[in-house]
Amino acid sequence: MQKPCLPRPSCVVHGRAVSDPAPAKSDEDLTPGLYLVATPIGNLGDITRRAVDILSRCDGVACEDTRVTGKLLKHLGISKPMWRYDDHSEHRDRSRLVDSMRTRAVALVSDAGTPMISDPGYRLVNDCREQGIPVTSLPGPCAAVLGLTLSGLPNDRFMFAGFLPPKDKARRETLAQLGQIDATLIFYETAPRLLKSLAAIEEVLPKREIAVARELTKLHEECRRGFSAGLMAYYDAHPPKGEIVLLIGPPEAVQANEADADDMLREAMATLKPSQAAGQVAKATGLDRKVLYARAMDLKSE
Site for ligand SAM, rule CB under 6 A: 41-42, 110, 112-114, 117-119, 142-144, 188-190, 213-218, 243-245
Q: How many residues does the chain have?
A: 302
**44 secondary structure, DSSP code:** G
CB atoms under 10 Å from CB of 227, counted, come to 17
Residue nearest to ligand SAM (CB): 113
The nearest distance, CB 102 to ligand SAM, in angstroms, is: 27
Please say which residue, 126 or 217, places its beta carbon nearer to ligand SAM: 217
Residue 154's SS3 state is coil
Please say which residue, 244 or 277, places its beta carbon nearer to ligand SAM: 244
Cα separation, 139 vs 158, whole angstroms: 19
The nearest distance, CB 64 to ligand SAM, in angstroms, is: 9
The nearest distance, CB 118 to ligand SAM, in angstroms, is: 4
The nearest distance, CB 194 to ligand SAM, in angstroms, is: 10
Please say which residue, 169 or 220, places its beta carbon nearer to ligand SAM: 220
Indicate the angle between helix axes 289-301 and 258-269, nearest 10 degrees.
Answer: 70
The nearest distance, CB 157 to ligand SAM, in angstroms, is: 20
Strand partners, 185: 159, 248
CB atoms under 10 Å from CB of 32, counted, come to 18
List alpha helices for the chain, DSSP H: 49-57, 66-76, 91-100, 122-130, 143-151, 168-178, 194-204, 228-237, 252-255, 258-269, 274-285, 289-301
Residue 121 and residue 110 in contact, taking contact as beta carbons nearer than 8 Å: yes
Please say which residue, 62 or 213, places its beta carbon nearer to ligand SAM: 213
The nearest distance, CB 290 to ligand SAM, in angstroms, is: 39
Please say which residue, 190 or 276, places its beta carbon nearer to ligand SAM: 190
Please say which residue, 243 or 287, places its beta carbon nearer to ligand SAM: 243
